[in-house]
Chain A
Amino acid sequence: MNKFILKRALASLVSLLFLVVAVFFLSRLTGDPTDLYLPVDASLASREQFRKIHGLDQPLMVQFFNYVRDLAVLDFGESIRRARPALDVVLEAFKWTLQLALITLFLVTLAAIIFGSLAAFRVGGMFDRFATFFSLIGASAPDFWLAIVAIVVFSVGLGWVPTSGTGTMMHWILPVTILFIRPFGLILQVVRSSMITALSAAYIKTARAKGAKAKSIIFIHALRNALLPIITVIGDQAAGMLNGAVIVETIFGFPGVGKLMIDSILQRDFSVVLASIMVTAFVIFLMNILIDLLYAVLDPRIRY
């Protein structure tokens, strides 16, 4: 097992490096930030000065070499926009994203497993139909639409919760709810479908036939068998959330990493783009290693 972890960690490190190289060069294909930062009527001299200050006047390979050299001592460079270390900017935002993602994921997982299993128990029953119907509507409704309607109804109309921002517990209710809806529908569907398969396995059928007493045992057994694809999907959703919930962050004024990344991409603030990718990638890689370990724990037959 230890050997596996070590191998995986090394492989992930290589992927991370590959990612850095790819993003470094690819992002620079999208143009020079100078024109975006200076007013359109800035003189040629100020343009050159700007490029010099930010090292953009040097050949790409030199820029890359400098970047890697600084990276070796964990210096992620400076944000052009904010004139402060890129890593600080990213960690500040990532803190919010991480909280939002963890809270939402916890609730989604819990709710989806409970409702999905219940739906799978009686396929085609009333509960199943309802759960499927509403979760699918949730999964395919545009989230900004839901978010604005929620603000209009619950903040402006009823005055129950603040419209946006981060001050108090109440501020978290709307963003978490909106962020919850889509993954809930998706994970519920996967839970349902893998539970159906698991429940129709022969040994479960026999157990089921033996009587209702065994129901909870059946549930645990079936769930255990169904868990692999469920974990995979949760992992995918988690990765998405760790990359930031752009719409929710934008509408609710939530200072997370998603909006930061978009702004930095559109503003060609390369160090921030790179730093945020490295931070999120690090966490995602870590999560993927954990997921692979979890596979092996849940299903002892799986060997790597």
Chain B
Amino acid sequence: MSVSENISTIETPKKGKIKTFFSLLWSDQFAFFAAVFLILVLTSVIFGPMLLDYDAGRQNLRGRNAAPFDFTRGWMWFLGGDQLGRPLLARVLVAAQNTIFVAGGAVMISMTIGSVLGVIAGNSRGRLGQFIPRIADVIMSFPSLLLAVIVLYMLEPSVSNIIIVLAITRIPVYLRTARAEILEIRERMFIQAAIVMGASKFRIIFRHMMPMLLPTLLTVATLDFAFVMLAESSLSFLGIGIQPPDITWGLMVSQGRPYLTTAWWLSFWPGLAIIFTTLSLNLISNWIRIALDPQQRWRLEIESKKND
């Protein structure tokens, strides 16, 4: 009998699953608004480029850097215009797609590869346990910019290639985190007990280790989301990342940089979008962690009872 099996017997739901979900979400209002914001982002990821591509791309040199909060020109100009006279609101919405693809893709790929390697390394006392961490060493010391120049020099600069570059550079973070956690977890009593009782390696990893490992990985991943968005921004700034006519929030931020003192809104809105996305992801991931962790869940349940 393991700890996690214990839990599944405890949490037999009384209410419907969906209802429980919403009441747990509502009990953490921050998380609730975060979820709403993320849904908005996802909506623009899916529909943004479809609906607004023309407006976001149409330039007007003589009407550049239009100030925000000007109600006379329609909702699209609410956030102002950019350095080529394009409406910023439309551009922020359209750019969501590439941004989320790049950040999400890079984080997902690096997290998967990194944690698989980290779990293997952590569980192996032999050669692999020695060898895999050295891969992390090598990647960590390999300058990400050089990697970007090499990959983008040989392949075309495109969204998918940027994902490759960023994913490779972020692998060590997950690898090392997973390995460090596993090194500690595998010495715990219940794992030792499971081994003695003859549980298979596979079962130990997935039933016993993963639930303990995931919260940390999730924290790192959500924070990494911001890191990747900003890294992509600096790559564009240095001339080796995504380049116009493609747009991402990071690119918009770096292109707005010369105007920081004269037209702050150029880099402010996409910057704000990055900050809000990270913040929301984090609040949600905190919430998920608490909601899934049997030892923490009472915090939400107390709140939701108060609300009932």
A residues near B260, Cβ cutoff 8 Å = 145, 148-149
Is B219's beta carbon under 8 Å from chain A? yes
What per-residue 1/0 map shows which CB atoms of A197-232 lie under 8 Å from chain B? 100100000000000000000000000000011011
B282–A193 CB distance below 8 A: no
- Of the candidates B143, B146, B278, the one whose C-beta lies within 8 Å of that of A139 is B278
B residues near A137, Cβ cutoff 8 Å = 275, 279
Q: How many A-B residue pairs have CB under 8 A?
A: 169
A residues near B261, Cβ cutoff 8 Å = 148, 152
A27-B150, A193-B289, A277-B141 are known contacts; what are 17 more A-B pairs with Cβ within 8 Å?
A11-B131, A18-B138, A23-B142, A136-B275, A139-B226, A139-B227, A144-B237, A152-B261, A182-B227, A189-B219, A228-B183, A247-B234, A262-B238, A265-B146, A281-B137, A299-B187, A304-B125
B137–A15 CB distance below 8 A: yes
A residues near B142, Cβ cutoff 8 Å = 19, 22-23, 277
B residues near A144, Cβ cutoff 8 Å = 237, 254, 257
Residues 92-115 of B at the A interface (beta carbon under 8 Å): none
Residues 1-53 of A at the B interface (beta carbon under 8 Å): 7, 11-12, 14-15, 18-19, 22-23, 26-27, 29-31
B149–A301 CB distance below 8 A: no
**Closest Cβ neighbor of A200 among chain B residues:** B295
B177–A15 CB distance below 8 A: no
A residues near B141, Cβ cutoff 8 Å = 19, 239, 243, 277, 280-281, 284-285
Nearest CB on B from A30, distance (A): 5
B299–A136 CB distance below 8 A: no
B153–A30 CB distance below 8 A: yes
Is B216's beta carbon under 8 Å from chain A? yes
Nearest CB on B from A236, distance (A): 5
What per-residue 1/0 map shows which CB atoms of B220-264 lie under 8 Å from chain A? 100100110110011001110000000000000110010011000
B187–A301 CB distance below 8 A: yes
Is B80's beta carbon under 8 Å from chain A? no
A30–B150 CB distance below 8 A: yes
Number of interface residues of A (CB under 8 A): 70
Nearest CB on B from A68, distance (A): 18
Is B60's beta carbon under 8 Å from chain A? no
B residues near A178, Cβ cutoff 8 Å = none
Residues 140-160 of A at the B interface (beta carbon under 8 Å): 140-145, 148-149, 152
Main secondary structure of the interface of A (DSSP, over half): helix
Report Cα–Cα, A239/B177, bound state, in Å: 14
- Of the candidates B150, B180, B234, B290, the one whose C-beta lies within 8 Å of that of A29 is B150
Report Cα–Cα, A261/B172, bound state, in Å: 21
A141–B279 CB distance below 8 A: no
B282–A23 CB distance below 8 A: no
A residues near B239, Cβ cutoff 8 Å = 266
Residues 70-125 of B at the A interface (beta carbon under 8 Å): 125
Report Cα–Cα, A237/B257, bound state, in Å: 25
B residues near A190, Cβ cutoff 8 Å = 216, 219-220
B residues near A64, Cβ cutoff 8 Å = none
A236–B295 CB distance below 8 A: no
**Closest Cβ neighbor of B183 among chain A residues:** A302
Nearest CB on A from B36, distance (A): 17
Residues 228-283 of A at the B interface (beta carbon under 8 Å): 228-229, 231-233, 235-236, 239, 243, 246-247, 261-262, 265-266, 273, 277, 280-281
**Closest Cβ neighbor of B153 among chain A residues:** A30
A residues near B37, Cβ cutoff 8 Å = none
A residues near B274, Cβ cutoff 8 Å = 140-142
